[in-house]
Chain A
Amino acid sequence: MAADINKHAHQEHPLALYLKVWCLLFILSSLSYLVDYMHLQGLLRWTLILGFMFLKVALIISVFMHMMWERMALICAILIPPLSLSFFIGIMLLESNYTLLSRLTFFSQP
């Protein structure tokens, strides 16, 4: 049993790594707040927001949630299913465009 308990005890990482990631998260949050503060608009705004968002998400999942040290079986089981959401987002994009079009065509005030 002793061996069993200590089987997963290999996950000791230097504190410095966590502190660095912590700093990075602070910087990324400040940058995404600045996007709003500087009133950036249009495509530049959306790319920056999404870019900073995905960077933060990747840092949190891989380091804070220890995903980069897990085995491939767990990584795939957890990270692949949410990809199906992109299909969901796609069909809902089409649907909401259609709804907007119908509303403008049939319900707008003359």
Chain B
Amino acid sequence: MRSEQGDTEVGLKGLVKDWSGDKEAFDVPWGKAMMWIFLLSDTFVFSCFLIGYMVVRMSAVDAWPLPSEVFALEIGGQPIPLVLIAIMTFILITSSGTMAMAVNYGYRKDKKKAASLMLLTAALGLCFVGMQAFEWSKLIAEGVRPWSNPFGAAQFGAVFFMITGFHGLHVSIGVIYLSLVAIKILKGHYAAQGNYEIVEITGLYWHFVDLVWVFIFALFYLW
């Protein structure tokens, strides 16, 4: 694709010439490519948190608190391990499913169904954040702090609040993002262009939030 003229430019000028060469590397709408690249960078942020968690857990001298007991809820007088976390996981997966359906209806240009499925997804996300708030207040009431906790290794609190907090922030932002886009769709913002790629782009973000939860669920709660 390089023209003969491009080859004659060297140094910085050549770099600019080559990188601004009118080529399209990714055969997708630019918004989608940018969302993927943002998600890639977010992958590294969450990886740093999870690797940091691995380091403090492996190097902790005190015993790590058992998540299965810390996060147990008493139902009918019997402690059921991780029950709230399991429900949160199912809610998030359900929301991922409704989001995937919304994307599908977006492609079919069925804006009513796409928007209402997106609003349903946002509502499920809100449910998730609410349960997380409940979990946080329960743990705080039990004396878990970022610097200490009654169950074991002091690092547990810091890791818990940081990782679930950052994920909860992502869910909250996702709820706002989904609602805004759904309202814009209903108002007919995208009808003029006749394409609903925005649904898929929003969907990518939402699925990523679910993806991160899969890692947190496995590595933090189940390990």
Contact mask for chain B residues 10-47; partner A; CB cutoff 8 A; 1 contact, 0 none: 00000000000000011111000100110110011001
Interface of A is mostly: helix
Q: How many residues of B contact A (CB 8 A)?
A: 56
Chain A CB within 8 A of B132 CB: no
Given known A18-B100, A60-B211, A99-B59, contact A37–B223 (CB-CB < 8 A): no
Q: Are A18 and B27 in contact (CB under 8 A)?
A: no
| A84, chain B: closest CB distance, angstroms | 9
Contact present for A85 and B223 (CB under 8 Å): no
* Interfacial residues of chain B within 86-144, with CB under 8 A of chain A in the complex: 86, 89-90, 93, 96-97, 99-101, 103-104, 107-108
**Inside 8 A of A57's CB, which chain B residues have their CB?**
211, 214-215
Range, interface on chain A = 35 or more
27 A–B contacts from the bound complex (CB under 8 Å): A5-B195, A8-B29, A11-B200, A13-B104, A15-B104, A18-B97, A18-B100, A25-B93, A25-B97, A26-B93, A57-B211, A60-B96, A60-B211, A61-B207, A61-B211, A63-B100, A64-B210, A71-B26, A71-B28, A77-B37, A93-B54, A96-B56, A96-B58, A96-B59, A97-B58, A100-B61, A103-B61
Give A residues with C-beta under 8 Å from B: 5-6, 8-9, 11-13, 15, 18-19, 21-22, 25-26, 29, 32-33, 35-37, 46, 49-50, 52-53, 56-57, 60-61, 63-66, 70-71, 73-74, 77-78, 81-82, 85, 88-89, 92-93, 95-97, 99-100, 103-104, 107-108
